[in-house]
Structure 1
């Protein structure tokens, strides 16, 4: 049997340097390694102290970065591709999506959320909220629409009952989207008193299912970390 690779993932540390900080890219890779069932070391990097490890291993880089058998990788998308190719069956599960649509579902949510949350003008709030909400509605529609595999099993299905974006297993698409949705949920509640509408049943179900999974729940930063990260960019609206 081949020797297991030596893997170390460096992620952004929390403000108190004790736990993981707010970084959806770090969480994405943390989830992937956990879902792969790989043995790896997680190292938090305190950005305020700019430790020697950063200067030595990845000068000029921000976490996340990966040390794989002594080789450093710094680009999140390329790390994801590398892990999917290298940690492959039969020893490790495949995490890629069956359906291309799953990989792009929700890809406009974070951009519209940022515009909504960084806006200081009450006059623009309704328009930006509608624009952001429309991305959630679109995402909800994707989650409520049966996938081809579901229709094969039940040609008369009108509503999807799948757990996640691409089926009943977490995939790379979920590792990309869920950390962002968690930030959206926490920040919108604090700064806009906005919660994801319960009428968006597909999206609500998706998040409920995700929070039950250790690979997601235990890789999330504390809510306080997210709020600290957004403190300087999110704007309270003075009504």
Structure 2
């Protein structure tokens, strides 16, 4: 496969979306030691640079026809990019932590075109199943609605919210006669108000038939008012006697002098 190096380098340093990037260690092909490289994953191309922010990559790995495997006999957090077939090279990489290794392996495994093609086929299969299920459900619902319209009407009536029974409301402050308690009907008396207060000319018009079961305010006022007035008169009389006792010795003293 021929690769245009200039276009590839321009794509590596362009502002295109990056799927994943970070530091990894890579074992060399000739020198079996590990070198720290900055890796950038864009689509199915894995670029690696000597330093972060460089314009031209040191190399690129095309992630097609390969598998991502753990490198148990290598670094602690090592994994491999294995290309199957005779004469194909495998790349051994190492991450800084277990979490970083798992994230890199997952991103690399999902980067190939073959994986994307499988995902599209799986999504298309799920979409076909959903559309078929919706069609069957719609056909069954239409058939049931045509076969039993009366049952649907009954179901709607059963599911409708019940209406509360009508009730007759009355003012609880109005008194009800004996006829109302017997069920013959309601007959309300007007409660005491300013117009029906005792002492007014028209008070008997509204209160002549009402049994008085409570003491009125006037009766309370007259009862306690007389007692208070009597106590006040006694107190005033006592004060007057006390003042008279104080003034008599003073007059006697003036006469003596």
- From the CA coordinates, give the structure whose radius of gyration is larger: 2
Relative CO higher for 1 or 2, CA cutoff 8 Å, sep ≥ 6?
Answer: 1
TM interval, shorter chain, is under 0.3
> Structure 1 length as normaliser, TM-score?
0.18
- Structure 1 or 2: more strand by fraction: 2
> Structure 2 length as normaliser, TM-score?
0.17
- Structure 1 or 2: more helix by fraction: 1
